Structure 1
């Protein structure tokens, strides 16, 4: 049986694409959502996905804070660091991690290395000497 969250996600995407909430479109959307093939997802992957979703929700106010911080206090230093990918990440979770890092104004992922590393560019405030 298709999961409720999966069905809800597919229907949401369908309604965003069609922009039509008529009865015929709802029936077609449910049929398409049920007929599309789906992969088996392990409970651990679902738990990691929900954790990343929570991190994204927390990142929204953080992004606004960082944007105002950059406006009010200039950041003149740049740094490139390598960050380790968390273990047992699926390609979808890796995409969400990259989105989360890039979403905030001070950081952007330059490259994902297949060996399990992100190359991250950061802007920093110059330290007073």
Structure 2
């Protein structure tokens, strides 16, 4: 089952990159998705994939809300933080995590550290009280 989810993820990325649903492009996309090497790390559980997909569905209205908030209430401050990667994540789930963080207008992943950290840039309305002193 996880193999199918990886295949669907690869095809989705291919179609988003090419923006072409012609028969030739579908055949090329399937061929590339099947030829790309697979990772032989521990397989992720179905519940991790479902949780990630649910988080993406929840992030869509959140992204609209944040976009409107940035338009009507300026965000003048920014900071860079390190966020821990959830344990035992496969490369596909790490990609979805990075996509989810970057999807919302107030955050973007600057770098993924192999030690298990995301470097995240955030914009905020106000400075934190600690940094004002």
User: How does the TM-score come out when normalised to structure 1?
Assistant: 0.70
Q: Structure 1: how far apart are the matches of 2:118 and 2:82?
A: 6
Q: What CA deviation, in whole Å up to 9, does each residue of 1:65-85 have, x standing for no partner?
A: 000000000000001000000
- Does the residue aligned with 2:45 lie in a helix, a strand or coil? helix
Partner of 1:80: 80
Mapping of residues 1-129 of structure 1, within 5 Å? 3=1, 6=4, 9=8, 18-20=21-23, 36=34, 42=43, 44-127=44-127
How many correspondences in the alignment? 114
Cα shift at 1:101: 0.3
Q: Structure 2: how far apart are the matches of 1:18 and 1:112?
A: 31
Cα shift at 1:18: 4.2
Q: Structure 2: how far apart are the matches of 1:75 and 1:92?
A: 32
- Does the residue aligned with 1:98 lie in a helix, a strand or coil? helix
User: How does the TM-score come out when normalised to structure 2?
Assistant: 0.68
Q: Structure 2: how far apart are the matches of 1:90 and 1:104?
A: 22
Question: RMSD of aligned C-alpha atoms?
Answer: 3.4
Q: Greater Rg, structure 1 or structure 2?
A: 1
Cα shift at 1:49: 1.1
Cα shift at 1:19: 3.2
Cα shift at 1:52: 0.4
Alignment gaps of 5+ in structure 1: none
